[in-house]
Amino acid sequence: MRSPIAAEGLPFIAGFVGVAVAGEIFCPSWFGSLLLWVLSGWCVWFFRDPERQPPPGEGLVIAPADGKVIAIEEVAAAPLSGKPARKCSIFMNVFSVHVNRCPISGQVTDLAYHPGRFFNAALDKASLENERMAILVTAPDGVAITFVQVAGLIARRIICRLQVGEGVVQGDRFGLIRFGSRVDVYLPLSAKLAVMLGDQTRAGETVVAQLESPQ
């Protein structure tokens, strides 16, 4: 049975619990103990990894992250593919599930890590200036989707488990970003958007767009 907690979070959870236990022993205080145990509980909640089931249907692009749609705009060239695209940005706050999932099935055809700054991930410039990991997945019908994990003001660690040449299935877990961040999805201009600004998404379940059927 799969753990409901992301493995990457276990060291953090152990650290928080260890501090809480030490506080109980060496600095007993009801307020201090309560605060430390609340923080430990929040850490467990942050690294939760619930099961998700993508909806059935052909040509669907599924949200790679839980959060809020904060930007939808056309760009001249998507990262890695270099093609005109419509960018849909999903912002994850510290209360969101931070496990990221593949928006489509296919093959990982390119990866690119970019070191950078740590601006608030909700800002437009974060997509270009923050630390980020870009992933290009090409579907069997040739449609390519780029999605980018973007670090934020507090999030300083991007985890991406994918490798070039690897096959992925829509909804598969592929990584996470710790403590607040965003994921940008670059869609073909022909794709029909299924979300609007302000919408809430669930990774692996919410339909972001419907791809145009191949001719």
The catalytic site residues sit at 181
Residue 116: what residue type?
Answer: G
For residues 88 and 163, is the Cβ–Cβ distance under 8 A?
A: no
Residue 211: what residue type?
Answer: L
For residues 8 and 159, is the Cβ–Cβ distance under 8 A?
A: yes
Beta bridge partners of 145: 137
Please give the Cα distance from 76 to 83 (Å, whole number).
7
Question: How far, rounded to the nearest angstrom, does the alpha carbon of residue 78 sit from its chain's CA centroid?
Answer: 18
Q: Tell me which residue has tokens 């692996």.
A: 204
What DSSP assignment string belongs to 101-159? E-SS-EEEEEEEEE--B---TTSTTHHHHB-EEEEEEE-TTS-EEEEEEEE-SS---EE
User: CB within 8 A of 18, min separation 6: which ones?
Assistant: none
Name the strand (E) or helix (H) holding 86: strand 85-92
